[in-house]
Amino acid sequence: MNTVQSVFGGQGAEGAQFLSLMTLFTVVTTIIYLLVLAYLALALWRRRRTEHTVESGDHAAEPPPQRTALIGWVALVNTGLIVLTVASFLTDRAMARTASSPALEIEIIGHQWWWDVKYTGADPSQSLETANELHLPVGVPAHITLKSADVIHSFWVPNLAGKQDLIPGRQTDISIKPTRTGLFRSQCAEFCGVQHTHMALDVTVENRADFLRWYRAGLQPAKAPTAPLAKAGYAYVMTRQCAMCHNITGTEAGSHFGPDLTHLASRRSIAAGTLPMNRGNLYGWVADPQANKPGSKMPTLGLEPNELHAVVAYLETLK
Amino acid sequence: MSAAELARDGPTLHGPELAARLERSWSRDPGLLGWLATVDHKEIGRRYLVTAFVFLALAGVLALAMRVQLARPDQNIIGAARYNEIFTMHGTTMMFLFAVPVMDAVAIYLIPLMLGTRATSFARLNAFSYYVYLAGGMLLWIAFVLNVGPDVGWFAYVPLSGPEYGVGKRADIWAQMVTFTEVAALSVAVVLTATILKQRAPGMSLDRMPLFAWAILVTSLMVIFSMPSVALASGMLLSDRLVGTQFYNPTENGDALLWQHLFWFFGHPEVYIIFLPAVGFVSEITATFCRRPVFAYPVMVMAVVAIGLLAFGLWVHHMFATGLPRVGYSFYTAASMAVAIPTGIQIFCWITTMWLGRPRFDVPFLYVVAFIVTFVIGGLTGVMVASVPLDLQLHDSYFIVAHFHYVLIGGAVFPLLGAITYWYPKVTGRLMSERLGKLSFWLLFGSFQLTFFPMHLSGMLGMPRRVYTYPAGLGLELPNFLSSIGAFIVALAFVLFIANVFLSLRRGAIAGPNPWKAGGLEWATSSPPPPYNFAHVPSVGSATPLWDGPLKWMSGLRVDEKEMLLTTVVSARPDLREPVPEPSIWPFISALALTVMFVSSIFSPWAVLFGLVPLGVALIAWFWPKQLEPTAEPVIE
């Protein structure tokens, strides 16, 4: 059983509450189901001393015991439903409380088909923008504002919490309090177009020190490349199509149409979870995005081999 | 001078002479023109049924294509874009072109027979509805074949389906197909409502009406109240796309969520529009094969009505993740849970009927048992997703795919297959093969569970709906592989079922009027019924007239013209003699004109204006009043 994308994970404050509510529902509904099956089996295969059929001549009979049983059954079903409704309501309230007084403000903007992630502090110089990855410190309630740049998406980290849609023209939000560290996977849960499938978000829950280290590193601009090949790649990225869409902080590439690439090489995956991050996949992706993610907004540029080597070499420096 | 005022002192016919005269008045004209012009509810019902099953087969093939693609992780047999078209077509076809029309089909065929009348109300509207439905289905599938099929999901959420992101004509075709099926469904709903309320046999007061008729009455009323909502929604979508209105555009003060409210205000009742006819099937089959009426008839009726009412109060449970106020959600949680009460009552009453009676395990009854075993699982997972905290995790995951296939296949298709086996002898005069029927039943029951049970797990392991592939290593390999294997066995079971339908046309045992010794009026006429259904009007004194003494017959309707008896709404006392419309080609031509208007209005708004002209001409011809020539001595039965 996987532990990176599962509602059974329970690594968020909500996860544990979800699990206990799910258990209650499963127990109650299973009992009801078994009762139905038992009654059905008995009704079908019991030995009959008396029957009320056309052939026996009293098919209109509705004996009092069955009438009483019907009332009992309705009472039982009602009781079960009331228990479940109240439990559901109380859990919902408890979930809303667990992540109150957030210590971290994050804004996530859904795009076809990637996630723009912004850590918005009170001090603008401490604001961090990244893409397709979400780092959270364990035990700290995070408040995430959700927006969409185009169509409806849905934010869902099953290990940590339930879903929340990102709706154009509206602003929604979700609060998450991770309780255990780990690496998780999240995936857009509302059909959002041709590459809905490849719109994943890598979630990292880490201890406070690791989170701060990552955060500080993220605030740094990209380092200028030193190796000749990477320099050539840098020149290509700055002067050709790449800079039209992507931002690399510390360089002239400042567009926000596509995902931020400032620390691309430090991420776990390429193109919103389409490929795991490694050199081979970087080659594959840069050479032909449309083969890896057909319909993606990133065109296949048709780089010459020497250009491809150079661009990948440069991207690998973006740690 | 109207027909009702005519003198009735003509000759009275009996026996073969009567049958021959009725045959002459009621049979359709020969040739293609006669075939297109017929208004016989049995012919129209059969056409609906065959067409709906063709769409089922097409959508089933698409399901297999999806299961091939999902059988193993990271496959790319079907590309992303094509996959999106396929699941859109599968859902749209199953919901709009199979599930609702197939229930209409059975109702159109059976309701007049069950009520002991000779035709439906508005017989021409009924014929019209079929052609409109067929045109809508053909629009969708021809577009798919021409590679302009919709790719926005069967729910077509804006703005994905809006002008900015749904480029091309794909979303327009989806929306216009919806318009076609709405016109058809609304027409049928009106036909059935009027038939049930005004054409019941004398003595069949509301409390003696078959449960199937109750289910269809409530279903038809639900169609009348819910379809306008999606008509409005899709009309606004088309106008956003075609003439630049901004109903759904948030940047111009439109609202993307408006679509979801309108769509689900229809979409949720839609589920019960599919389920309630199945409640009717199950009730009729249970009664016949347990040899007694269903336990607690008034309670069953109230449960059906309660489901019909509650269905309109829970659409927001499709929108728990959209960030609406949480206090409001609680209401919809409670309302959604409350549906379990009438449904639970129905399950109890059916099982109690089995307890009190003596079950006979023929194929139709096996489907009832499979229905209970399967549907209750779907109902209980429905209780789970009514809870906000659970739904926020399970929503839009494969858990939901499992849930609604348990509800729709377990809750509606199993009873439908039972119903087809049960009423097949009435329609064809022959019984279906019991051996082949049992084989396909067990195959279907087992493979259904194999296909859909694992989807609960894949959903909880984080697999969202509408993805064309999934990565290895998340534990999704096994459940998806099992689902794919199961899907092919499901297909095999359906092939066997259909083979049985065709083989039994020639080889099946001759059925006679009442092969199951059932109690309803449809079994009081020959199999297959004559074009006029009944030579005389039956008169009933109970809900199961054939079980309660010899049937009484009334006479006095004309036989040299098509005529039927109208009765009062509540107590079904004879009220009026009503002429039945003669066959007419104009409903077909009107449907054709409507089709031209609808299809061309995908391309230009002016088509709505110019298209009205031929449609208007056709409708005028259709409704052109005819002078009834009074006959001095009408011939009566």
Q: Does B466 touch chain A (CB under 8 A)?
A: yes
- Please compute the mean of the pLDDT values over residues A220-227 and round it to a whole number: 94
CATH number (3.40.50.2000, 3.40.720.10, 3.40.50.2300, 2.60.40.420) of A104-219 reads: 2.60.40.420
Is A172 in Cβ contact with B358 (below 8 Å)?
no
pLDDT at B218 over 90: yes
State the Cα–Cα distance between residues B148 and B475, nearest whole angstrom: 35
pLDDT(B630) > 80: no
What are the structural domain ranges in chain A? 13-99, 104-219, 228-315
What is the tens place of the pLDDT at every residue in A233-254?
999 999 999 999 999 999 999 9
φ, ψ of residue B398 to 5 degrees: the values are: -65, -15
Tokens of A294: 């057909």
Q: Which of these CATH numbers, 2.60.40.420, 3.10.28.10, 3.40.50.300, 3.30.360.10, describes A228-315?
A: 2.60.40.420
CB < 8 Å to B461, chain A: 1-2, 5-7
Residues of B (71-90) whose Cβ lies below 8 Å from A: 79-81, 84
Where in B136-215 does DSSP place strands (E)?
none
Please answer yes or no on whether B299 and A85 come within 8 Å at the CB atom.
no
Q: In sequence order, what DSSP letters do the residues of B391-408 get, joined into one string?
A: HHHHTTBHHHHHHHHIII
Average pLDDT over residues B200-205: 97
Closest to A294 (Cβ–Cβ): which among B81, B292, B348?
B81
What are the pLDDT digits (tens) for B68-121? Answer: 999 999 999 999 999 999 999 999 999 999 999 999 999 999 999 999 999 999
Residues from chain A contacting residue B321 (CB–CB below 8 Å) = 154, 162-165, 189-190
CB contact under 8 A, B337 and A170: no
User: Can you tell me whether residue B69 is helix, strand or coil?
Assistant: helix
In chain A, whose CA is at the least distance from the CA of B346? A70
- Tens-place pLDDT, residues B409-455: 999 999 999 999 999 999 999 999 999 999 999 999 999 999 999 99
Token pair recorded at residue B144: 């798919």
The stretch A54-69 carries a mean pLDDT of 92
- Out of A36, A158, A195, the one facing B80 most closely (by C-beta) is A195
Its pTM stands at 0.96
Rounded Cα distance, B464 and B396, in Å: 6
In 3D space, the residue among A161, B454, B580 whose CA is nearest the CA of residue B463 turns out to be: B454
A8/B460 touch (CB, cutoff 8 Å), yes or no: yes
pLDDT per residue as tens digits for the range A161-195:
999 999 999 999 999 999 999 999 999 999 999 99
Chain B contact for A163 (CB, 8 A cutoff): yes
Among A9-18, B175-184, B195-204, whose mean pLDDT is lowest? A9-18
Cα angle B184, B185, B187; round to 5: 65
Q: What is the ipTM of this complex?
A: 0.96
Nearest to A54 by CA among B230, B290, B166: B290
The two three-digit tokens of residue B548, written as one number: 């309660």
Asked if pLDDT for residue B174 goes beyond 50, the answer is yes
How is residue B244 written in tokens? 């630049």
**pLDDT number for residue B285:** 98
Residue B407 has pLDDT above 90, yes or no: yes
Residues written for chain B? 637
Amino acid at A187: Q
B392 to A162: CB separation less than 8 angstroms, yes or no: yes
Contact B357 A51 (CB under 8 A): yes
Is the pLDDT score of B9 beyond 70?
Answer: no
Residue B6 has pLDDT above 80, yes or no: no
Distance CA B217, CA B206 (A): 11
Residue A244 CB burial class (10 angstroms; 0-12, 13-18, ≥19): exposed
Measured CA to CA, the distance from residue B119 to residue B26 in angstroms comes to 10
pLDDT in tens, B315-372: 999 999 999 988 889 999 999 999 999 999 999 999 999 999 999 999 999 999 999 9
Q: Which of B210, B123, B187, B197 lies closest to B569 in space, CA to CA?
A: B197
Tell me which residue in B334, B369, B380 faces A29 most closely, judged by beta carbons.
Answer: B380
- B322, B388, B547 member nearest A92 (Cβ): B388
Which pLDDT value is given to residue A74?
96
Yes or no, beta carbons of B330 and A92 under 8 Å apart: yes
A29 chain-B contacts, CB cut-off 8 A: 380-381, 383-384
Residue position matching structure tokens 């509302």: A190
* Chain B environment of A152 (Cβ under 8 Å): 157, 159-160, 256
Report yes or no: A217 at the B interface, CB cutoff 8 Å. no
- CA of A284 to nearest chain B CA: how many angstroms apart? 16
Say which of B349, B384, B475 has its CB closest to residue A29.
B384
* pLDDT tens digits along A136-168: 999 999 999 999 999 999 999 999 999 999 999
| Inter-chain residue contact A89 with B333, CB threshold 8 Å | yes
Query: What is the pLDDT at residue B7?
Result: 55
Query: How would residue B2 be classed by pLDDT, with cut points 50, 70 and 90?
Result: very low
What is the per-residue pLDDT for A121?
77
Which residue type is seen at B302? M
Evaluated on CA atoms A45, A51, A54, A55, the torsion sign reads positive
Q: Is A228 buried (19+), middle (13-18) or exposed (0-12) by CB count in 10 A? A: exposed
CB spacing of A152 vs B80 below 8 angstroms: no
Quick: pLDDT tens for B562-613: 999 999 999 999 999 999 999 999 999 999 999 999 999 999 999 999 999 9
Rounded to 5, what percent of chain B is helix, strand, coil?
65, 5, 30
* Residue A37, Cβ density class (10 Å: 0-12 exposed, 13-18 middle, ≥19 buried): middle
Q: Residue B85: its chain A contacts at CB < 8 A?
A: none
Q: Is the N-terminal amide bond of B528 cis, ω within 30° of 0?
A: yes
Give the DSSP H or E segment for B13: none
Alpha carbon of B70: minimum distance to chain A alpha carbons (Å): 12
pLDDT at residue A122 tops 80: no
Judged by CB atoms closer than 8 Å, whether chains meet at B345 and A73 is answered as yes
- Select the residue of B323, B338, B467 nearest A165 (Cβ to Cβ): B323
Nearest to A44 among B340, B359, B547 (CB): B359
Please report the sign of the dihedral spanned by the C-alpha atoms of residue B184, residue B186, residue B189, residue B194: negative
Is B160 in contact with A151 (Cβ distance < 8 A)? yes
pLDDT at residue A99 in the model:
66
Mean model confidence pLDDT for chain B: 94
* Chain B residues with beta carbon closer than 8 angstroms to that of A92: 326, 329-330, 388-389
The mean per-residue pLDDT over the stretch A30-45 comes to: 96
Pair of tokens at residue B485? 């294997």
Per-residue pLDDT for B503 more than 90? yes
In this structure, are residues B150 and B85 in contact, taking their beta carbons and an 8 Å threshold?
yes
Q: Is B91 on the interface with A (CB under 8 A)?
A: no
Residues in chain A with CB shorter than 8 Å from the CB of B392 are 161-164
Beta bridge partners of A270: A275
Question: What tens digit of pLDDT does each residue of A66-84 get?
Answer: 999 999 999 999 999 999 9
Please tell me the distance from the alpha carbon of residue B334 to that of residue A85, in angstroms, as a whole number: 6
